[in-house]
A and B are shown apart, each in its own frame.
Chain A
Amino acid sequence: MNTNEAKTLLAAAGVDKSYGQRQVLRDIHLRVREGQIVGICGENGAGKSTLLRILMGLLQPDAGTVECRAAKGYCPQQLQLFDQLTVDEHFAYYARAYGGALMNPGVRNRRIEELRDLLRMRSVNGQQVRQLSGGTQQKLNLALAMLHDPPLLILDEPYSGFDWETYLQFWAVAADLRERRKGILIVSHLVYDRSQFDLICTLENGGLTCSPQDS
Chain B
Amino acid sequence: MFASRFLIGVRMTGLELLRSRYILALVFAMPLIFYLMIYVTSAERDMPMLFGMVSDSREYLVNERDESLVFFGTGAIALVAAFIALKLTQRHHESSRRLVLCGYSTTEVLLSRIGTLLLSLIPLGCYVLLLLLCFFTPGSILPVTAGFVLAGFVYAALGALIGVLFRNEIEGVLAVLLIANIDAVWMQNPIYYTASEHREIIRVLPAYFPTQASMLGAFTDESVLAAAGASLLYGGILLLIALFIYWRRMRVV
- When A57-B252, A97-B104 are in contact, do A92 and B92 touch as well, CB less than 8 Å? no
Chain B 1-45 against A: per-residue CB contact (8 Å), 1 yes, 0 no?
100110011001001100110000000000000000000000000
Asked if A211 CB lies within 8 Å of chain B CBs, one says no
Cα distance A96–B94 when bound, in Å?
18
Q: What residue of chain A has the Cβ atom nearest to residue B16's Cβ?
A: A84
Q: Are A56 and B16 in contact (CB under 8 A)?
A: no
Q: Are A128 and B1 in contact (CB under 8 A)?
A: no
Q: Are A93 and B99 in contact (CB under 8 A)?
A: yes
Q: Are A59 and B253 in contact (CB under 8 A)?
A: yes
Which A78-92 residues have a C-beta within 8 angstroms of B? 78, 80-85, 89, 92
Cα distance A58–B19 when bound, in Å?
31
Q: What residue of chain B has the Cβ atom nearest to residue A76's Cβ?
A: B98
Interface of A is mostly: loop
Asked if B101 CB lies within 8 Å of chain A CBs, one says yes
A residues less than 8 Å from B4 (CB atoms): 96
Q: Are A99 and B103 in contact (CB under 8 A)?
A: yes
- When A57-B253, A84-B15, A89-B12 are in contact, do A94 and B95 touch as well, CB less than 8 Å? no
Cα distance A89–B95 when bound, in Å?
14
Which B220-243 residues have a C-beta within 8 angstroms of A? none
Q: What residue of chain B has the Cβ atom nearest to residue A95's Cβ?
A: B8
Q: What residue of chain B has the Cβ atom nearest to residue A89's Cβ?
A: B12
B residues less than 8 Å from A83 (CB atoms): 16, 92
One of A74, A76, A82 near B12 (C-beta < 8 A): A82
Q: Please give 12 more A-B residue pairs, beta carbons under 8 A apart, in addition to A80-B95, A97-B102, A144-B98.
A: A58-B252, A59-B253, A80-B94, A81-B95, A82-B16, A83-B16, A84-B15, A85-B15, A92-B8, A97-B103, A99-B103, A128-B19
Interface residues in chain A, defined as those with a beta carbon under 8 Å from any beta carbon in chain B: 56-60, 74, 76, 78, 80-85, 89, 92-94, 96-99, 128, 144
A-B contacts, 10 of them at CB < 8 A, read A57-B252, A57-B253, A58-B252, A60-B253, A74-B102, A82-B92, A83-B92, A93-B99, A97-B102, A98-B102
Interface residues in chain B, defined as those with a beta carbon under 8 Å from any beta carbon in chain A: 1, 4-5, 8-9, 12, 15-16, 19-20, 92, 94-95, 97-99, 101-104, 252-253
